[in-house]
């Protein structure tokens, strides 16, 4: 390898590095953000199917175990209400979890840049 090709390759690497630094915020808040939103929707959809919340809601007024008397209907209704409340609370937890991750995704570069500025001005 000659000195001329080494200088040319070093220049290409430097230009690519500068381009990556300048392009990073656009990627982070555009394609990266769309990727995190797709992940969040898949995650919430999986959790919704995992908890079976919609199944409990759809069968709210269906008696359990085929008992059609008033006691069976009332017990089934209240038992399903308790299940819906518990599973709904779990889904709210997962929703807050996902919103926290999305918020961290949006705040992370700004916070890191802030910390870099603070650390460089202190030294």
Helix (H) or strand (E) holding 32: helix 31-51
For residues 40 and 30, give the distance between their C-alpha atoms in angstroms, rounded to a whole number.
15
CA–centroid distance for 31 within its chain: 14
User: Is residue 93 scored above 80 in pLDDT?
Assistant: yes
Averaged pLDDT of the chain: 93
Read off the pLDDT of residues 23-36 as tens digits, 9 standing for 90 and up. Answer: 999 999 999 999 99
Which residue pairs, CB below 8 angstroms and at least 24 apart, start in 25-31? 25/109, 28/109, 29/106
Determine the pLDDT at residue 64.
Answer: 86
Q: Please give the model's pTM, rounded to 2 decimal places.
A: 0.81
**What residue spans define the domains of the chain?**
30-122
User: Is residue 122 scored above 90 in pLDDT?
Assistant: no
| Beta strand segments in 26-121, E | none
Q: What's the average model confidence in pLDDT over 52-58?
A: 95
């Amino acid at each position: 390898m000659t000195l001329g090709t080494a200088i040319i390759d070093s220049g290409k690497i430097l230009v690519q590095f500068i381009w990556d630094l300048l392009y990073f915020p656009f990627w982070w808040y555009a394609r990266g953000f769309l990727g995190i939103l797709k992940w969040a929707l898949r995650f919430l959809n999986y959790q919704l199917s995992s908890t079976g919340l919609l199944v409990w809601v759809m069968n709210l007024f269906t008696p359990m175990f085929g008992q059609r008397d008033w006691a069976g209907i009332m017990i089934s209704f209240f038992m399903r209400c308790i299940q819906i409340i518990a599973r709904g609370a779990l889904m709210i937890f997962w929703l807050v979890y996902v919103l926290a991750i999305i918020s961290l995704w949006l705040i992370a570069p700004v916070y890191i840049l802030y910390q870099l500025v603070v650390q460089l001005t202190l030294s």
